[in-house]
Amino acid sequence: KAGVTQTPRYLIKTRGQQVTLSCSPISGHRSVSWYQQTPGQGLQFLFEYFSETQRNKGNFPGRFSGRQFSNSRSEMNVSTLELGDSALYLCASRGSYEQYFGPGTRLTVT
C-alpha cells in the first residue's frame, strides 16, 4: 500500500496570507488527523476527521480549519498567517490503533 502523502512539501508564505495543505491517507483509512510540530511545543494535535466529519479538535484558534472529502483525502487551511504558524504540519491516517504519518509540509511564514 502506498503511504500517506502530503503536498506541498515546502511552502513560504507572507504574514496575513492564507494557505491550504493537502493530505492523502493510506487507501482504506477513513481517519485523518493533523498535527503542528515546532521545536518548542513538540507535536500538537489540530483536529481529526473521520468519514468527512470532524471527530476531535485541539486547542488552536479558528484560523485553523480543515475538511475531509468522500475519498478520505483531507485539506487543512490556515487563514491570516502569523509568524508563529511557521512549523512542520503533519497529517496521519489511522489504522487499527496506530497512526501512519506523512512526510509533512514545512511552512515558513515571513
Contact call for residue 99 and another protein (CB under 8 A): yes
Please, which residue, 41 or 71, has the CB nearer to another protein? 41
From 65, 79, 86, 100, residue interacting with another protein (rule: CB under 8 A): 100
DSSP state of 101: E
Measured between its terminal Cα atoms, the distance across the chain in Å is 37
The 10 Å CB-count burial string (b at 16+, else e) for 64-99 is bbbebeeebebbbebeebeeebbbebbbbbbeeeeb
Exposure of 97 in the CB half-sphere (CA atoms within 13 A) = 0
Contact call for residue 60 and another protein (CB under 8 A): no
Contact call for residue 70 and another protein (CB under 8 A): no
The minimum distance between CB 16 and another protein, in angstroms, equals 28
Residues found near another protein in the complex (CB under 8 A): 4, 31, 33, 35, 41-45, 48, 50, 55-56, 90, 92, 94, 97-104
